[in-house]
Amino acid sequence: MITHPFPPLFDKNSKVLILGSFPSIKSREQKFFYGHPRNRFWRVTAAVFNSPVPRTIEEKTKFVLSSGLALWDVIASCDISGSSDSSIKNVTANDLSVILKNSAVRRIFVNGRAAEKYYNMFTKEKLGINAVCLPSTSPANAAWTFEKLVKAWSVIAEDF
């Protein structure tokens, strides 16, 4: 059983929550979101907000908060082989109410089908909020080009 090793990223001004499934090995090592260098999350979201791509954890934190975003993962703990979402078993979900009670979040998006699956399974009914599934920014999702991802992910900036 592996426990999520870092807290959610949000502040009182966060309007849009983006949820992954569970952090990759690289993200767990860095103790920060989307740590694998080939994951396109930072490039895609920077393009959506017409911002430079953040490189350091400090830059990434500033970018997320200044963009009105919040980041977290659906899963608090699970059994997982490496970084493979398809191997996830014995899931315990994160309590998202701490974010919703302490921010302006009213829209939730999930990064890929695994996050959608576990959100719908463990969280949707508790919160009563539908999450919109966006195509995964993972390098494993090679069918989606960078340009297609940016177009699909542009929906996260519609409220700003």
Task: State the catalytic residues.
Answer: 39
* Whether the Cβ atoms of residue 111 and residue 134 lie closer than 8 Å to each other: yes
* Burial of 150 per CB tally in 10 Å (0-12, 13-18, 19+): middle
Main-chain dihedrals φ then ψ at residue 93, nearest 5 degrees: -85, 150
Strands 2-3 and 75-79: antiparallel
